[in-house]
Structure formats: structure tokens, C-alpha cells
Structure 1
């Protein structure tokens, strides 16, 4: 039975908590709506995929996106900068590197989304977090709905590489074990915020190379909508 003396203070506490939850839900809804609108606004709207050039890939796990690049081209040999010796299985015949950027604590301490704590989410919303680079080494990755090929010119690839260089570790590499035996994390410059997300990094990198992508893409879908799906596959 509810204590009649305690009931009024309890009701006074529940009411502002309810409004706080409603406001938080409204904030997330507005964020999602703005993200959907922002991702539909194109940058480099006139860009078209060339008939010849270098094939890169854009991959996603549904939440996060990454750029998959050939390990060696005349424009860039990634091996000295992102050596396979930094991963647990260094002797595989790797052909590509997957490069992405994200929030340090989320990447290192939340191997699954079930491990993501509300406190971490609130911290990112409030003050953001330190950036970190994730690099995975692949052997002949096959195109699939979640890893889509994209052909770009050699000049665009040079510009893409130059933009990625801005996120590479400066000076001595500080690495951390990855999730598997073929990936690794590196400390990297940049501050992760609600406006500069991992997916925004991907689209900003593509845009800097002159490739068509969305204007503001906080979600993975906002990036992938600009990458043509495989023939016969859904978007």
C-alpha cells in the first residue's frame, strides 16, 4: 500500500522524469530526421562513375561504414604505413585494407552493441570522444550487398588517399588488438561528436575526392544510399 505521505513527492519526481524521457526521445527523433534529410542532399552531384580507373569498395555492417582499398597501386602502397605485421595473422596474402574512423571507447570496449552503455552514449552526446582508426586486412574481398565496389579515377583515388592521410597516426604508431586476427586499431587524430560520426568520416573522405555522396550522413544508410548496389541486389 502506498504511503499517502510519500506519494506526492514520488509523483513530483515521476512527472519531470517522464518529461525528460519524452524530450530525449524527441531529440533522437529530430536527430534521425535531420540525418535522413542531410544524407539526401548530394555533394559532388555531377559525379559519375568512370569507365576506367581504380576499384575501391564501401562496406557496412549496418551501423558503421569503411573504405576498402587495394593494398598496392602506383598511387599508394599501404604496407609501410599499415603493415600486416601489426595484426595477429601477418602472413596471409592480403590484397586490400579496410580503413575506417570512429570513437575510441566504443571501438575498443564495445565489441558488440549490447556492450554499449547508456553512460557512453550520453558522454558522446555531451562532449564527444577521441578518434581512433580501425584497419582490417582482407584477401580478395568479394563484392556483396554489404561491400559494394565503386570505380573512381586515378586522380580521385590520389585525392582520397590524401584525405585519409589526415586521419593516419602521426609519428609513432600506437596500436591495439582488433576483434579478429586480421585487424588492428591505431590512435588517430580527430574528435568524434554527434555531428562528426564514423559514417560522416566516410562520406567526408569520399567527398574530398570529388565523389558523389550525402551532405550529412551520421548513419550508415546515408552513406550506402549513394553507392550503387550490386545488380539484382536490394539497396
Structure 2
């Protein structure tokens, strides 16, 4: 039996080493969830939310009525104002991202790699925005082609998520800062807290809000939308609608 050429053996060893290094890094940076919040206790009140994962971006689809309740109970005036502006819609899809790249790239076809690289590698990160969309159709109809993960959160977990979302809204004199029309449907861009960069992309933000709701997260795996979906599946967080 012929032995594989030395260069092939070295290449295989390199691939294996990189795979082990990445797996180790993912494990070492993983953050545990809060079992007091997630999964919900049997028979407890729950709130259904959805992760919407596109080719390069993910956001959260949240029930507007529950978000309005949580914002009002927390006396978060800026978030109440955002939610009230979309009161005609039963759900809101909310995403976070780089202010320049997010607003300039509505679809994957419009992807500008120069903008993408600038957004990812600017030292200190770049300003961020929130994109809020009013959604009336079913998730599958509203986001054809997207991977949609359905999650049932405890009420306390959802309230933690809403509080984290409220902290992401930049407010001036108690009011959210509107930056202009959004990318599709009834939507608006809002100024947001946080800095966008390679170590804090939109998918980390989505995962972070779910982490606030009690779910575990793996930042390295969550860098890409598909990785975030796999992370939820790997941790057993996927639930039937």
C-alpha cells in the first residue's frame, strides 16, 4: 500500500491542528446559560421569539405586545416609543450592525467587500445602528429563504432580553434617535449603543440578547449566522413551533 506524499500528510496534520485549535477556542470562550431563566419551567408562562438568520446577518423577531409590556414595566421610555411607532404590527424584527455597512448593503448582491472589511477591522470598532421592521405576515412569508429558529423563553427571560434591547437604543432627551428609512418594508434605522467590529458583529448581538434571556452562547461559533443556528441546535435550544 502506497504511503501518501509527505505534503499531503503535512496538509492533513495542519487541517487537524487548526480544527482542534478552533474547537478548543470555541469551548474556552463559551458562556453558560442561566438555568433559572431557560429553559422555562413546565407550565410556566412563555414568550415565543424567533431568530431570523440570513446569508450574512441575523436579527430577532419579537412579539410587539410582549415587548411593549416589558418596556412599559421597566419604564424604558425610548424603547416604548420605538415599539409604539410600530403599533400596527404584531411583531418586530430587530437587528443591529455597523452604521455604514448595514445601511449601504440591503442585499447580499449589493455586498461591497471594501465596506465590509472597513467595518470589521477599524481599530476600536465603528458606530452601530438598530434596524426595526414591522412584520404582519408569518415569519416564513416575511423572510423567504431565511433560517428561522423558534424559541420559547420564560417571561422573566424575555424581560431580561427586552431590558438589554432597551440599553441598545441611543436616546437623546429620553427619545430614540431616528436615522432614516430602513432597508425593506415598514422599517426605520435608529442610532444604537455599542461598537461594531470583528469581535462584536450582528450575530454576536443577536446571540447576546438570547444569552440575556438565559441561553448559553459560543461567541466564536456565533460569528456567522449559520454558526449561530448550529450553536442553538448543538445546545438543544431548537424547539418546535
Q: After the TM superposition, which of the residue ranges 100-109 and 44-53 deviates more from structure 2?
A: 44-53
Q: Is the 8 A contact 1:43 1:215 kept in 2?
A: no
Partner of 2:10: none
Count of residue pairs brought into register by the alignment: 194
- 1:103 equivalent to 2:98? Answer yes
Deviates more, 1:120-129 or 1:43-52: 43-52
Structure 1 residue 42 displacement after superposition = 5.5
Distance apart, 1:155 and its partner CA: 0.7
Residue 32 (structure 2) aligned to one of 35, 38, 43: 43
How far, CA to CA, are the matches of 2:24 and 2:165 in structure 1?
25
| Alignment equivalent of 1:206, drawn from 195, 207, 210 | 210
Match of 1:3 in 2: none
Q: Relative to structure 2, which stretch is displaced further, 153-162 or 208-217?
A: 208-217
* Alignment gaps of 5+ in structure 1: 1-29
CA distance in 2, matches of 1:137, 1:50: 30
C-alpha distance in 2, partners of 1:165/1:188? 10
Q: Report the equivalent of 1:133.
A: 130
Q: Distance in 2 between matches of 1:178 and 1:36?
A: 39
CA distance in 2, matches of 1:208, 1:182: 27
Q: Distance in 2 between matches of 1:121 and 1:140?
A: 31
Per the alignment, residue 190 of structure 1 pairs with: 194
Q: Does 1:70 align with 2:67?
A: no
Q: TM-score, normalised by structure 1?
A: 0.70
Distance 1:64 1:72 in 2: 25
Where does structure 1 differ by over 3 angstroms across 4 or more consecutive aligned residues? Answer: 33-37, 39-42, 49-52, 76-79, 82-85, 142-145
Residues 200-221 of structure 1 show CA distances to partners (whole Å, capped at 9, x for unaligned) of: 0011111122123323311111
Among residues 211, 219, 223, which one is paired with 1:218 in the alignment? 223
Distance 2:187 2:209 in 1: 21
Q: 1:154 to 1:123 in 2, by over 3 A?
A: same
Q: Counterpart of 1:59?
A: 52
The residue matched to 2:208 in structure 1 has which SS?
Answer: helix
| 149-158 vs 46-55, greater mean Cα deviation | 46-55
CA-CA distance at 1:72 after TM superposition: 1.1
Q: 1:129 to 1:113 in 2, by over 3 A?
A: farther
Structure whose CA Rg is larger = 1
- Who is 1:228 aligned against? 238
Residues 101 and 119 in structure 2, CA contact (< 8 A), matched pair in contact too: no
CA RMSD of aligned residues (A): 3.0
Partner of 2:9: none
